[in-house]
Amino acid sequence: MQTIELTNSYTCRYGAPTVSRVHPEIFGYRYFGKCMSCETCDDVCCQFGVDVDVENVSRIMSAFGESIQAWFGPRVNDLEFPGGGYHRTKTSDRGCLFLNPERGCSLHARCLEQGVDYHELKPMVSCLFPLTFDDGLLHASNEVCDTSLYCLCSRISLYRGVRDELAYYFSGLVDEIDVLEQMYQEAKVAQ
């Protein structure tokens, strides 16, 4: 399937990334969608850590203390990330060092406990998963395409599962993608 060029480019509220194309696979692939309701995956999608933009790393260290600086790998310069780069979180035997021992992301949990919007600390890459972005293209993550994502099933499209997250980060983007989604569904019915 070919990528679809959007009529506009949509820049993230943090200044990067910018999305100008989408891959129609975001409508076709389906997954469970309600992450914390899954009782069998044991957070396997977090096993490799996550890329955290440099601005967010600063916010996380302010919230948790400078001592967690060792939880991040070296900076990687990448203009598609807010602040022009990211740090990958390090991992333990279970996965990302921000995984709670019981279940879920400790960054997300801390925000909920303190009544703070979880977008303040939780990495954008985590919030958008299982979608990702590269060179202006919004598309399915590698784990979806290689079918290693544990929660692939017939429930909800990747797009629908993270639509609210996309709306938070990219003003106006979902309005255009909603139209593309409708066209995609109509084309599937016509086949």
Residue 51 lies in a domain: yes
Residue 188 lies in a domain: no
Residue 65 domain boundaries: 4-183
- pTM of the model as a whole: 0.92
Band of residue 39 on the pLDDT scale cut at 50, 70, 90:
low
Residue 161 lies in a domain: yes
> How many domains does the chain divide into?
1
Residue 189 lies in a domain: no
* Distance of alpha carbon 73 from alpha carbon 64, whole angstroms: 17
Which pLDDT score, from 0 to 100, does residue 141 have?
92
* Distance of alpha carbon 84 from alpha carbon 95, whole angstroms: 25
Average pLDDT over residues 61-73: 91
Residue 191 lies in a domain: no
Which run of H or of E encompasses 156? Answer: strand 156-157
